[in-house]
A and B are shown apart, each in its own frame.
Chain A
Amino acid sequence: MRRNCLIILAFVGSLVTPAHAQQGPKGPQDLSSLTIEDLMNIEVTSVSKREEKLSRTASAIFVITQEDIQHSGATNIPDLLRMVPGLDVAQIDGSTWAISARGFNQQSSDKLLVLIDGRTVYSPLFSGVQWDAQGVPLENIDRIEVIRGPGASVWGANAVDGVISIITKKADQTQGGLVSGGGGTNEQGFGTVRYGGMLGARGAYRISSNYSNHSHLPDPSGQSGEDAWNALRADLRAEYGLTAKDSATVDISGYRGGEGERVPTVTSISPPVNQVLDLRQIFSGWSILSRWDHVFSARSDTSLQVYFDKTDRSDPTYGEGFSTFDLDFQHHLQWGTRQNIVWGLGYRHIGDATQGTLRVVFTPAAQTDQIFSGFLQDEIAIRPDSVYVTLGGKLEHNDFTGFVFQPSARIACVANEHTMLWSSVSVAKRTPSFADIGVQFTQFASPGPGGLSVVAVAFGNPLEKDENLLATEAGLRREFGDRVSLDVTTFFNHYTGLRSTEPGAAFLESDPAPLHIVLPFVFSNLLHGETHGAEVAVKWKISNRWTLSPGYAFLLMHMHPDPASQSLQAGFAMEGSSPAHQAQLRSHLVLPGQFQFDVSGYFVGRLPAQNVPSYTRLDAGMTWEPGERFSFSLVGQNLLQDHHLETTNPDLIIQSNLMKRSGYAKIVWHF
Chain B
Amino acid sequence: MKMKRKAHTSSGLSRAAALWLALLATVCCASGPVAWPAAAQSSEPTEYQVKAAFLFNFTKFVDWPESVFADAHAPIVLGIVGEDPFDGDLGQIVAGQMVKGRAISIRKYRFGEDLRHCQILFVGSSEQMHIPNILLSVQGASILTVSDVDQFADSGGVMQFVVEQSRVHFIVNWDAAMRAHLEISAKLLALARVINRTESRGVN
Q: Does chain A bind chain B?
A: yes
- With contact pairs A31-B49, A32-B97, A298-B112 given, residues A482 and B40 touching in the complex (Cβ less than 8 Å): yes
- With contact pairs A299-B112, A476-B30 given, residues A36 and B191 touching in the complex (Cβ less than 8 Å): yes
A622 nearest CB across to chain B (Å): 21
Q: Is the CB of B151 within 8 A of A172?
A: yes
A295 to B124, CA, bound (A): 20
The answer, yes or no, to whether B117 is at the interface (CB within 8 Å) is no
A47 to B125, CA, bound (A): 13
A15 to B112, CA, bound (A): 29
A149 nearest CB across to chain B (Å): 13
Q: Is the CB of B40 within 8 A of A558?
A: no
A472 to B132, CA, bound (A): 37
A91 to B136, CA, bound (A): 49
A492 to B9, CA, bound (A): 13
Q: What number of residue pairs across chains A and B have CB atoms under 8 A from each other?
A: 203
Among A27, A31, A476, residue most surrounded by chain B Cβ atoms (within 10 Å): A31
The answer, yes or no, to whether A221 is at the interface (CB within 8 Å) is no
The answer, yes or no, to whether A528 is at the interface (CB within 8 Å) is yes
Contacting residues, chain B, for A47 (C-beta < 8 A):
46-47
A13 nearest CB across to chain B (Å): 11
Q: Is the CB of A534 within 8 A of B23?
A: yes
B88-116: CB near A (< 8 Å → 1, else 0) gives 11001110010000000000101111000
Of the residues B28, B45, B88, B111, contact of A31 by C-beta under 8 Å = B45
Of the residues A295, A478, A544, contact of B133 by C-beta under 8 Å = A295
Q: Is the CB of A492 within 8 A of B85?
A: no
A490-501: CB near B (< 8 Å → 1, else 0) gives 111010000000
The answer, yes or no, to whether B72 is at the interface (CB within 8 Å) is no
Interface residues of B in 1-31 (CB under 8 A from A): 1, 3, 5-6, 8-9, 12-14, 16-17, 19-21, 23-25, 27-28, 30-31
Give how many A residues have a beta carbon under 8 Å from the other chain's beta carbons.
83
Interface residues of B in 169-196 (CB under 8 A from A): 169, 187-188, 191
Q: Is the CB of A1 within 8 A of B50?
A: no
A557 nearest CB across to chain B (Å): 10
- With contact pairs A298-B137, A482-B40 given, residues A40 and B167 touching in the complex (Cβ less than 8 Å): yes
Contacting residues, chain A, for B166 (C-beta < 8 A):
43-46
Among A22, A43, A534, residue most surrounded by chain B Cβ atoms (within 10 Å): A43
- With contact pairs A37-B191, A298-B136, A486-B30 given, residues A31 and B93 touching in the complex (Cβ less than 8 Å): yes
The answer, yes or no, to whether B41 is at the interface (CB within 8 Å) is yes
Q: Is the CB of B169 within 8 A of A26?
A: no
Q: Is the CB of A31 within 8 A of B50?
A: yes
The answer, yes or no, to whether A222 is at the interface (CB within 8 Å) is no
A492 to B19, CA, bound (A): 9
A21-47: CB near B (< 8 Å → 1, else 0) gives 011111111011011110111111111
Q: Is the CB of A301 within 8 A of B31?
A: no
Q: Is the CB of B148 within 8 A of A49?
A: yes
- Using CB atoms and an 8 Å cutoff, list the residues of chain B in contact with chain A: 1, 3, 5-6, 8-9, 12-14, 16-17, 19-21, 23-25, 27-28, 30-31, 33-34, 36, 39-50, 52-54, 56-57, 61, 83-85, 87-89, 92-94, 97, 108, 110-113, 124-126, 130, 132-134, 136-137, 148, 150-151, 154, 163, 166-169, 187-188, 191
Apart from A481-B42, A560-B9, 6 more pairs, CB < 8 Å: A11-B21, A40-B169, A44-B47, A475-B27, A532-B23, A558-B5
- Shortest beta-carbon contacts, A-B, top 6: A298-B137, A31-B53, A334-B112, A49-B125, A44-B47, A492-B20
- Using CB atoms and an 8 Å cutoff, list the residues of chain A in contact with chain B: 1, 4, 7-8, 11-12, 15, 20, 22-29, 31-32, 34-37, 39-47, 49-50, 52-54, 56, 172-173, 244-245, 295, 297-299, 301, 334, 337, 340, 381, 384-385, 415, 417, 419, 421, 472, 474-476, 478, 480-484, 486, 488, 490-492, 494, 528, 530, 532, 534, 542-544, 554, 556, 558, 560
Q: List 28 A-B contacts (CB under 8 A).
A: A4-B21, A15-B28, A25-B41, A26-B42, A29-B49, A31-B49, A42-B50, A43-B44, A44-B50, A44-B168, A45-B47, A45-B166, A52-B48, A53-B83, A244-B136, A298-B111, A298-B112, A334-B112, A384-B110, A385-B108, A472-B20, A481-B42, A482-B40, A482-B46, A483-B40, A492-B20, A542-B39, A558-B12
